[in-house]
Structure 1
Amino acid sequence: MIQLLEVHTKKELKQFIMLPYTIHKNHKEWLPPLISDEWKIFDKTKNHSFEHCNTILYLAKKNNAIVGRIMGIINHIYNKGSNEKNVRFFGLECYDDAEVYDKLITAVEAWGKEKQMDKIIGPLGFSDKDPQGFLIEGFKEQITVMVTNHSYEYMISHTERNGYQKKLDIFQYTAKIPEKTAEIYTRIAERATRNGYKVKEFKKSNQVKPYINDVFQLINKTYKDIYGFAPLDDKEAKEFSERFLPLLKPQYIKLVLDASNTIVAFVVAMPDISEGFKKTKGRLFPFGFLHILKAFKKTNQLNLLLGCVDENIRNSGLVALLNIALLDAARSNNLTVLDSHLILEENTKMRAIIERMEHTIYKKYRIFEKSLD
């Protein structure tokens, strides 16, 4: 018999957070997130996003063992801005057990109905910055990268068996970094420079901090039409930057400023440290950070994380400026491979930029939906 438990206590939340480390213990392609980061996502005292969302967390218990988990989220800011009434399921983890999966997913469906929602979508977290989608292709290709969801293949069959259909797919590319910048990019970048645009580069992380608020304002402005994105307020932006800035190398953060020194475009990338993260088993201390430092030195791959261009000036050559600055930095550090991270199938402009290089789509993820009527 399966017992469903709503998470209330700190002990139960710890069980919720730690369950994936058991389920994926022998899953060589799975990348364990930092346990400290998981607390920052799922603990309402640490994550400001809880303040404008309804949430519920469930654990499934079978034979006195925790065997599954799921979170339900109603993001009121997103729903209001998109004129939708969606409940999201997120963090769904279980063994290959149809009874457990069904118990978890139907619990969030029922909760969503109680809250007068008319559709359930997922996997999708508080925003598109959380791991999203179940993996549908690329299960055995290679270890995943940060902030992606390398789920087991059986999650697809259990989801579809419960009446869920495709909402949208997300692509992840690997591409060869060209040995030199294409001449067309150089010409376009020169034109952008003549029009007063310039690249701002950094050597130290503390040099980035004064620009963080303006970067997130640009994100809120340009990401508004990206599925699942909800604008981040100042507290959420601060929490997000504090999670990731310590792991970033400033030479892979590039901003474009206009003649009045306003940020109009940016890109953030980082050397791939997945192998180091794998060895930490989710813990930075006492020795996990040493594995990460070693991975920084050994990798030949650069992972894209975030980027955007002010939508009012997208044809002003700013992509060329960012492309040249970022790939020059990669080449100077002997990086030869670029990982696109996650790109929505419908984001044809971003996909076109990657597809100009020698590339392969090596993983695909899917966000599902189901009517609750």
Structure 2
Amino acid sequence: MPEIIVKEVRSRAELREFIYLPAKIHKGEANWLPPLYSDEWHLFDKKKNRSYSYSDAEFFLAWKDNKPVGRIMTLINHRYNEIKKEKNGRFSFMECYNDREVFHALITKAEEWLRNRGMVKIVGPMGFSDKDPQGFQIEGYEYPFLFTAPTNSPYMPAMLEAEGYTKEIDLVNYNMPVPDKDPPIYLKAYERYSRNSNITISEFKSKKELKPVIIPVLELMNSTFVDIYGYVPLNDAEKVELAKRYLPILDPAFIKVAQTKNELVGFIVALPDMTTGIIEARGKLFPFGLFKILRSMKKSTKLMMMLGGIKEEYRGKGIDVMMGMKLLDSARKQNKT
């Protein structure tokens, strides 16, 4: 029987194998959703990705017959562990062919790496924070993959359970239609809250209008996401970097913020689905991939809810209804269903 060897990634060539291995594993699966490879190169760059400044991480490839057959990333997020007072390690970005021995070799290597660094519990798949795809998909394979969610094969969670792992938490994606008209109950709630509230909902027509609120939104996200499983607060440099990276693809029409006279107290951020464009571009932005992705976003009838939060002391005051109604109105105007 061929020997399985799990080795650390040590060269750029090996990192390339690590990044592109999932595409080989899922070759022939028409609906498999590749990552955006420009994001992958940034994610796994220990010099450019600021997350490595507060995390220890290693990348491993499993080799069989001198070919890469699996991968796994091990991770210790010291910032998160300090906040939560935990000694948890993580594994993430795990992929392999349907081979129990390869899977076992990879997860065993991860356990060994984390145990040697003093960790007492291993959780995964989980990246630096909830901004990275986390968990294994366990059902819903009849629906298209989402670029914000895992894209694993059904055999992966089964093999993880065979290793003795149990569920830590459920992560759920919801799919709902955009109603042709606002339900009466929401209309009544919107009218009541709007009439009796000092809250205003701001909408945007251009990225120039939107740009000044991006950092305040990320600051509010830090405080409102504090209890979300896996969330790690962004520092100032990370806020600026995140705003710079994602402002070009944001559609101002699908961003709403709630404000009092003095402060921003709520936000929702949605984005037209880019899944078909990413598949068509095979995850590559250049030379023509970016145009395919932008075109798919323009044609898409699906809207992805990306982020949303309300300052704790303003919850229960109808801000979610007011922002939601504005978002549904914008969705209908652009033929989202």
Q: TM-score range by the shorter chain?
A: over 0.9
Do residues 87 (structure 1) and 89 (structure 2) align? Answer: yes
- Whole-angstrom distance in 2 between the partners of 1:112 and 1:322: 43
- Whole-angstrom distance in 2 between the partners of 1:103 and 1:35: 26
Hey, what does 2:15 align to over in structure 1? 13
- The answer to whether the 8 Å contact 2:277/2:296 transfers is yes
Consecutive aligned runs of 4 or more in structure 1 exceeding 6 Å deviation: none
Hey, what does 1:126 align to over in structure 2? 128
* Per-residue CA distance 1:37-92 (angstroms, 9 max, x = gap): 11121111221011001111111111111111111111111111112111011000
How do 1:38-77 residues align onto structure 2 when only pairs under 5 Å count?
Answer: 38-77=40-79
- Whole-angstrom distance in 2 between the partners of 1:185 and 1:230: 34
Do residues 300 (structure 1) and 288 (structure 2) align? Answer: no
> CA offset at residue 12 of structure 1?
1.9
- Whole-angstrom distance in 2 between the partners of 1:96 and 1:25: 13
Hey, what does 2:276 align to over in structure 1? 275
Do residues 96 (structure 1) and 92 (structure 2) align? Answer: no
- Whole-angstrom distance in 2 between the partners of 1:331 and 1:55: 44
Do residues 254 (structure 1) and 256 (structure 2) align? Answer: yes
- Whole-angstrom distance in 2 between the partners of 1:11 and 1:36: 16
- Whole-angstrom distance in 2 between the partners of 1:46 and 1:246: 20
| Higher RCO (CA 8 Å, separation ≥ 6 residues) | 1
Hey, what does 2:316 align to over in structure 1? 315
> CA offset at residue 106 of structure 1?
0.8
How do 1:108-119 residues align onto structure 2 when only pairs under 5 Å count?
Answer: 108-119=110-121
- Whole-angstrom distance in 2 between the partners of 1:234 and 1:35: 25
Hey, what does 2:163 align to over in structure 1? 162
- The answer to whether the 8 Å contact 1:47/1:236 transfers is no
- Whole-angstrom distance in 2 between the partners of 1:66 and 1:187: 59
Hey, what does 2:108 align to over in structure 1? 106
- The answer to whether the 8 Å contact 1:29/1:142 transfers is no
- Whole-angstrom distance in 2 between the partners of 1:32 and 1:196: 45
- The answer to whether the 8 Å contact 1:135/1:151 transfers is yes
- TM-score normalised over the length of structure 2: 0.95
- 3-state SS in 2 of match to 1:165: coil
Among 14, 24, 27, the alignment partner of 1:25 is: 27
- 3-state SS in 2 of match to 1:166: coil
- 3-state SS in 1 of match to 2:216: helix
Hey, what does 2:205 align to over in structure 1? 203
- The answer to whether the 8 Å contact 2:265/2:310 transfers is yes
- Whole-angstrom distance in 1 between the partners of 2:133 and 2:274: 17
Between 5-14 and 326-335, the greater mean CA deviation after superposition:
5-14
- 3-state SS in 2 of match to 1:155: helix
- TM-score normalised over the length of structure 1: 0.86
> CA offset at residue 304 of structure 1?
0.5
Aligned length: 334
* Per-residue CA distance 1:143-181 (angstroms, 9 max, x = gap): 212121120011012101111001111111211111112
> CA offset at residue 28 of structure 1?
2.5
Q: Which amino acid aligns with 1:38?
A: E
| Structure 2, unpaired ranges of 5+ | none
- Whole-angstrom distance in 2 between the partners of 1:192 and 1:243: 35
- Whole-angstrom distance in 2 between the partners of 1:115 and 1:293: 44
- Whole-angstrom distance in 2 between the partners of 1:82 and 1:297: 41
Do residues 150 (structure 1) and 151 (structure 2) align? Answer: yes
- Whole-angstrom distance in 1 between the partners of 2:258 and 2:169: 31
Taking only aligned residues, the RMSD between alpha carbons, in angstroms, comes to 1.4
Hey, what does 2:243 align to over in structure 1? 241
- The answer to whether the 8 Å contact 2:215/2:243 transfers is no
> CA offset at residue 315 of structure 1?
0.9
* Per-residue CA distance 1:233-269 (angstroms, 9 max, x = gap): 1222233333332222111111111122x11110111
- Whole-angstrom distance in 1 between the partners of 2:297 and 2:11: 38
> CA offset at residue 272 of structure 1?
1.3
> CA offset at residue 191 of structure 1?
4.1
> CA offset at residue 21 of structure 1?
1.5
- 3-state SS in 2 of match to 1:142: coil
| Structure 1, unpaired ranges of 5+ | 337-373
- The answer to whether the 8 Å contact 1:32/1:278 transfers is yes
How do 1:177-196 residues align onto structure 2 when only pairs under 5 Å count?
Answer: 177-193=178-194, 194-196=196-198
- Whole-angstrom distance in 2 between the partners of 1:27 and 1:235: 39
Between 215-224 and 141-150, the greater mean CA deviation after superposition:
141-150
- The answer to whether the 8 Å contact 1:59/1:70 transfers is yes
Identity of aligned residues (%): 44
- 3-state SS in 1 of match to 2:46: coil
Hey, what does 2:215 align to over in structure 1? 213
- The answer to whether the 8 Å contact 1:69/1:92 transfers is yes
> CA offset at residue 223 of structure 1?
0.9
- The answer to whether the 8 Å contact 1:59/1:68 transfers is yes
